[in-house]
Structure 1
Amino acid sequence: MKPKNVHGNTLDALGEAIIAGRYPPGATVPPEPTLCEEFGVSRTVVREAVKSLVAKGLVSTGPKVGTRVLPSDQWNWFDPDVVAWQSKVGLTREFLRDLQETRRVVEPAAVRMAAERATAQDVAEIEAAYEGMRRAVEEGGDYVTFDLRFHQGLLRASHNRMLVQMSKALSALLRTSFEISTSRKDGPRGSLPLHRAVLDAVAAHDPARAEKSILLLIDSARDDIEAVLGSRRRLPRLNMPATLLRV
């Protein structure tokens, strides 16, 4: 993973502090001189970090009120940095519930469209992603990256421009789900037939079967996540490289 620059490190530190509750909603973030001293950086770096936090919906700024933390329902939960900060601070049941509900709303409709509209090239790309998953299970390797490509391929195959854009936004959230379910023993091996069923239904241009298959896959991932949470095992952190499967 490429190391971050001073701006990136300062942004991460402030973002994590906000999500961890060090600066709760409604609180004022310390003034620039204090932050400069705390992080050992210039005012320019602090200002740029705050601008990024504003863009991500974590804070607002204004004359005489300073920089105030916004409620969490205003944070951009489709932003990869926000998701990574939450992961590093600690994934909550509420966060994971919202993630699974979002998947259940978006993916079945997208996969239904994919089954209606997928081109031969679309199917080939999803097939290639599936093969990467299979090799990772059989030979060891990076399962999560190929799992993510599989689901991104399904959304692209819907040929709906808004869903295609959403696939980029959903990537960080989907990776969260995949990292957790992959951490369960034999989770990836058990999910392979479910992925195959989705792929076969899309390739056969069978929308009803495709929708049913993706719902089974999503619900299986939910069960894996519940099992990992129940085991109280340490959850993966998204600021780390994807977990590699070993055989």
Structure 2
Amino acid sequence: MVKQVREGRPRSVHAWVAYELGTRIVTGYYTPGEYIPNEATIGEELKVSRTALREAFKILTAKGLIESRPKLGTRVRPREFWNMFDSEVLRWCFDSTPSPEFLRSLFEVREMIEPTSAALAAKRATDEQIAAVEEAYRAMEAAEPGTDQVILTDIEFHMAILRGTNNEFMVSLGESIKTALMGLFRISSSKESAYQASLPGHYAVFLGIRDRDPERARFEMKSLLSKSSRKALDHLAEEERGKVGEAV
């Protein structure tokens, strides 16, 4: 089976090659443990130089996706070695259709971090930081359905809470997974009704933080994430059923 090459290259050819090969890896076209075609074969297929390929391989190696084995070639590493917090790896996962397992794993990470972050923000956030959380929520309310503002304001709401923890590790982790949050919000907020339905949950989180009630903030964030997870997985299942229906 020949992989269809996407059209449209950026000015950086090696970045485009890394995207092509990285997407193939995260979607399972090249599976963990498999040796990918040699430079001559891939170069001919993608119509790029060996120099561009080698630079792309360096990028993928740094992200933990591949490793070179002397006299054997380049193979895909097991998923446990992939840097799943890398913004490009996350983007490659969402540019294809993410699996339910991938989404569940991502929500599990969020459920470990964000309820605790909301509780910490309720205890530690300054008045200015709480005002920033409210401002982000009001921007969510004002966002025009169907536009990128729906997603961007949602991300800013969650980032404002992370900044309100005054824990630099929490903030750094949030910055690392912004790409994943954008992908998740595109899925869970794809329907206008779903986005509107999520607003009361976001407001409840804000109120818990504003009222300096850590356990309430924790509970409301956990509830919000639980609902978001179900919506995202249900939407993914609907898409899969639609594909099956088209194929019949």
Provide TM-score, normalisation by structure 1: 0.87
Alignment correspondent of 1:107: 114
Q: Read off the aligned partner of 1:207 and give its amino acid letter.
A: P
* The 10-residue stretch of structure 1 (62-71 or 210-219) with the greater mean CA deviation from structure 2: 62-71
Letter in 2 for 1:223: R
Question: Is 1:14 aligned with 2:16?
Answer: no
1:36 maps onto 2:34 in alignment: no
Match of 1:241 in 2: none
SS of the aligned residue for 1:61 comes to strand
Q: Which residue of 2 aligns with 1:80?
A: 87
Alignment size in residue pairs:
234
Deviations 1:22-56 (CA, angstroms, capped at 9, x unpaired): 22111112222222222222222111111110111
| Corresponding position of 1:187 | 194
- Superposition TM-score, scaled by structure 2 size: 0.86
How far does residue 69 in structure 1 lie from its aligned partner after superposition? 0.4
Once superposed, which parts of structure 1, at least 4 consecutive aligned residues long, lie more than 4 Å away?
137-141
Q: Match of 1:91?
A: 98
Distance, in Å, in 2 between the alignment partners of 1:81 and 1:140 is 23
Q: Percent identity over the alignment?
A: 37
What are the equivalent positions in structure 2 for 1:109-148 lying under 5 Å apart?
A: 109-137=116-144, 142-148=149-155
Q: Contact 1:78/1:172 (CA < 8 Å) preserved in 2? A: no
- 1:58-83 per-position Cα deviation (integer Å, ceiling 9, x unaligned): 11124223211011222111122212
Aligned to 1:226: 233
- What SS does the corresponding residue of 2:98 show, helix, strand or coil? coil
Equivalent residue, structure 1, for 2:6: none
What are the within-5 Å matches in structure 2 for residues 141-180 of structure 1? 142-180=149-187
Work out the CA distance in 2 between the residues paired with 1:123 and 1:40. 53
How far apart are the structure 2 equivalents of 1:65 and 1:128? 56
CA distance in 2, matches of 1:160, 1:77: 22
- Distance, in Å, in 2 between the alignment partners of 1:225 and 1:123 is 28
How far is the alpha carbon of 1:3 from its aligned partner?
5.0
Distance 1:176 1:138, change over 3 A: closer
- The alpha-carbon distance between structure 1 residues 40 and 140, as it changes in their structure 2 partners (threshold 3 A), is closer
Distance 1:20 1:227, change over 3 A: closer
* Structure 1 unmatched runs, 5+: 236-247
CA contact (8 A) 1:112 1:207 kept: yes
Q: Which has the higher contact order (CA 8 A, sep 6+)?
A: 1
| 1:114-141 Cα shifts (integer Å, max 9, x gaps) | 1111112212222222122111157966
Please give the alpha-carbon distance, in whole angstroms, between the structure 2 residues aligned to 1:20 and 1:180: 18
* Contact 2:122/2:212 (8 A) holds in 1: yes
Deviations 1:99-121 (CA, angstroms, capped at 9, x unpaired):
11111111111111111111122
8 Å CA contact 1:137, 1:188 repeated in 2: no
Match of 2:207 among 200, 204, 207: 200
What's 1:50 paired with? 57
